[in-house]
Amino acid sequence: MYDKMKEDQERQGQLLKTVLDEAESFFSRRASDTVSPVFPGRKPVAISNEGMGAEGALRYFLDEYAPYVNLNTGPRFYGYIIGGVTPAALAGDWLTSLYDQNAFGTEGHLDRHIEEEATRALVDLLDLNPEMTGSFTSGATMATLTALATAREWAAAKQGKTADDGVYGLKRPVILTGTAHPSVYKALSVLGLGRNSIMSVGTLAGREAVDVSALERALSGNRSEPCIVIANMGTANSGDVDDLKSIAALKEKYDFFLHLDGAIGLVAAASERYRPQFEGMHAADSLTIDCHKWLNIPYDSAIAFVHKKHRNDQYRVYAQTVSVADEVSDVTEYTHLGNEGSRRFRAISVWMSLMAYGKDGYAEMVDRNCAMARLFADRLEASGALRLVSRPRLNGFAFTLNRDVVTEAEIQDLRERIRLDGHTFLNSAVVDGVPVLRCSLSNWGICTEHVEDVAASVIRCAKDML
């Protein structure tokens, strides 16, 4: 054995203690240090012949690079709809790396049992349709791909085709939405349906929620075509929610595949206060949840939920075999139901967090995050320097400078000023033609003191520009 590998083998415990020391330091920094430090760049370090050894490489990283890590798991990072990592989820993730299982999902193996318990717990926690079955993926983009691949197979079957035949010669389904996340366009591109296949039917005035009347007109005009409808349980830019109850009612009149993008807002269903916003979600054929958002699980983790009646559609797409002649069964390996053949044991972190905090813990977190979003919005609006472009419906909203006309350059300037001020990180977007900054308060640890600190920084930076 190479000498440095042998030395590290004998010192693995000490190495992990060093990592634990860094973890303790990192936890304390998240509430006070610069949230998004600017990395100055440096000449890349080259790989040497002999190597540094694990301790040397770790020390080099901690000294040279760790000070520039974003504090996005802390309670003051409100950009990109990033949650955080609950203590239980972090413990689960460390165990995932320790055990390093290839989670094929084979009957009689632990990984399958834990995945089933985790997905069933989410169905219970979020009051999903009990006929939903979950498949773990690396993130919301892959979960969206899984769901829409299933929808594509459903549409192909109506033309007597399957995934064995491919998309060539397949009449493209009609895909309807109000507002779609960019990951939807990526998924449609990868699936061979094309970014141009999606038709935005229109949104309600000043909002990102779909105009259901316009959606019905589009469905009525395409009765002879397979239709896929993509609805939102919280949009990225303003946190808007589609009228799922009215969309579900359309399924009684029209035959279409309903996919719900729940990556951002679905966890709100853990709260009895916010669950009514999602009335109608039981009509979904598929839906997605991004676990490393509001569920507060480490990267990378998401789940595609597919109704049992479409499980064969999902299997025909993803079966890791030369040709699909059989049907899905209760013992089908999970590697035949998603994008990956080799699969990380992601379910441990989700299972740990759900079992640790239960229904009451997640309901409290949702209620608190939404309350903190309202507090943040109230502070910004009361400042006179900023105006809200959307009010919080859940835990996110958009705002801009309090001017009649705001340019993209001004928003980018404000965004950079806020970043350099060090108290938070926000990202930009455009809502209803207005350049904005958007925020999402998704972290399990956010409290009033963090919101007051961030609000003071944002207001200070905005006033400096007026």
87-137, pLDDT tens digit by residue? Answer: 999 999 999 999 999 999 999 999 999 999 999 999 999 999 999 999 999
Using alpha carbons, list the distances in angstroms from residue 206 to 184, 390, 423. 22, 8, 30
Question: Could you tell me whether strands 396-401 and 227-232 are parallel, antiparallel, or unpaired per DSSP bridges?
Answer: unpaired
As a whole number, mean pLDDT of residues 141-157 equals: 97
254: which residues sit within 8 A by CB, 6+ positions away? 216, 219, 220, 223, 227
| Block residue for tokens 């591109």 | 189
| 430 class by beta-carbon count within 10 Å (0-12 exposed, 13-18 middle, 19+ buried) | middle
Q: Average of pLDDT values for 22-38? A: 95
Q: Is 206 left (phi over 0), alpha (psi -120 to 50) or beta?
A: left
Q: Quote the percentage of the chain above a pLDDT of 70.
A: 100
Q: In the chain, what are the domain boundaries? A: 3-71, 88-353, 364-465
324 has a pLDDT exceeding 90: no
Report residue 325's pLDDT band, with 50, 70 and 90 as the boundaries. Answer: confident
Q: What is the pTM of this model?
A: 0.96
Q: Give the pLDDT mean for 165-184.
A: 94
Nearest to 77 by CA among 290, 379, 289, 292: 292
Q: How many Å separate Cα 64 from the centre of its chain? A: 30
The reported pLDDT for the residue numbered 302 is 97
Position 31 pLDDT exceeds 90: no
Mean pLDDT value of segment 255-261: 98
pLDDT tens digit string along 276-314? 999 999 999 999 999 999 999 999 999 999 999 999 999
Three-point CA angle 466, 207, 234, nearest 5° = 105
Six-digit token pair at 352? 């740990």
Query: Residue holding tokens 């779909």?
Result: 210
From the DSSP assignment, how many helices (H) and strands (E) are in the chain?
A: 13, 11
Query: Most confidently modeled of 35-39, 168-172, 320-324?
Result: 35-39
Distance CA 373, CA 369 (A): 6
**321 — pLDDT class (breaks 50, 70, 90):** confident
Does 323 have pLDDT greater than 90?
no
Q: For the residues of 235-267, what is the DSSP string, one character each?
A: -TTT--B--HHHHHHHTTTS-EEEEEE-TTTGG
User: In degrees rounded to 5, what are phi and psi of residue 178?
Assistant: -100, -60
Q: Tens of pLDDT along 353-399?
A: 999 999 999 999 999 999 999 999 999 999 999 999 999 999 999 99
CATH of domain 364-465: 3.90.1150.10
Q: Which pLDDT score, from 0 to 100, does residue 197 have? A: 95
Whether the per-residue pLDDT at 350 is higher than 90: the answer is yes
What's the burial of 13, exposed, middle or buried (CB within 10 Å: 0-12/13-18/19+)? exposed
CATH classification number, 88-353, choose in 3.40.50.1370, 1.20.120.1730, 3.40.50.10490, 3.40.640.10: 3.40.640.10
* Residue 57 pLDDT level (bands cut at 50, 70, 90): very high
Is 90 exceeded by the pLDDT of residue 443? yes
Confidence of residue 232 (pLDDT cuts 50, 70, 90): very high
Domains 88-353 and 364-465 share a fold: no
